């Protein structure tokens, strides 16, 4: 069975400056390999045979690097956004989407098993499946908890908070396109709120392996440090 993936690669990478001043974010290197090439190699290993890159900012550089995908023995084509469409809006410009397909951001470094994630979604006949990750954030201050009389009743010294966050990796069925306006700025948040309102509740898959969104300089620098000792696609 053919497996299709859509990789969102059209953003400007504003949060990642200065690394993205002269390069599009999907081409910033992790070690000696662009993050997007790592993803494409992972998808090839997981049995995907067709990848569509949604491009906008510095699209010509991305297209020149990846071409038709023959270097990686996978079909690569492109969907060009003429204006920013966020995360879900670009899907409306792709005319040949299959019944189920993977959608992911082009700046995710993870050892998620994409083949298992794909099969899980299809096997459960889910409408939309979100890969999620439990992230711990440490508050760098002492936290004061007061009562209704503005009296201190509890003190927490630099507590850690846990958040279940989206990894920027999704499996979705084609019928979700009915909720996405054509060629319009429409994000993941817009679609999630719409599905909840329609009681078409997405499934959540909690992943416990390695995950980093390299959209911020601190996480990008951390990824560079950690990548050398890891094997993501061989």
- Known catalytic residues are 158
Tokens of 101: 């397909």
Tokens of 213: 């969104």
Sign of the C-alpha dihedral computed for residues 194, 196, 200 and 204 taken in this order: positive
Tokens of 66: 């990846």
| DSSP one-letter code for 121 | H
Contact 43, 233 (CB under 8 A): no
Contact 130, 171 (CB under 8 A): no
CA atoms within a 13 Å half-sphere pointing along the CA-CB vector of 51: 30
- Dist. CA 164–CA 170, nearest whole Å: 15
Contact 213, 135 (CB under 8 A): no
Contact 91, 180 (CB under 8 A): yes
* Helix intervals (H) in the chain: 35-45, 59-66, 114-124, 188-197, 217-227
């Amino acid at each position: 069975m053919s497996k299709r993936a859509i990789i969102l690669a059209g953003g400007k990478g504003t949060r990642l400056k200065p690394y993205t001043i002269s390069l599009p974010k999907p081409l910033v290197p992790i070690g000696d390999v662009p993050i997007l090439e790592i993803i494409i190699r992972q998808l090839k290993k997981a049995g995907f045979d067709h990848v569509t890159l949604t491009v906008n900012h510095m699209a010509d550089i991305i297209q020149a690097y990846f071409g038709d995908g023959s270097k990686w023995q996978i079909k690569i084509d492109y969907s060009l956004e003429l204006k920013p469409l966020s995360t879900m809006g670009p899907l409306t410009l792709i005319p040949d989407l299959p019944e189920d397909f993977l959608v992911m951001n082009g700046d995710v470094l993870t050892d998620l098993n994409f083949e298992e994630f794909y099969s899980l979604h299809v096997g459960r006949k889910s409408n939309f499946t979100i890969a999620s990750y439990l992230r711990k954030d440490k508050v760098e201050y002492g936290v004061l908890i007061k009562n209704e009389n503005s009296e201190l009743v509890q003190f927490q010294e630099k507590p850690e908070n846990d958040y279940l966050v989206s990894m920027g990796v999704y499996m979705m069925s084609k019928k979700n396109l009915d909720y996405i306006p054509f060629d319009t700025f429409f994000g993941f948040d817009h679609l999630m709120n719409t599905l909840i309102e329609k009681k078409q509740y997405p499934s959540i898959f909690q992943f416990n392996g390695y995950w980093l969104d390299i959209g911020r300089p601190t996480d990008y620098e951390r990824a560079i440090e950690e990548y050398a000792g890891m094997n993501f696609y061989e």
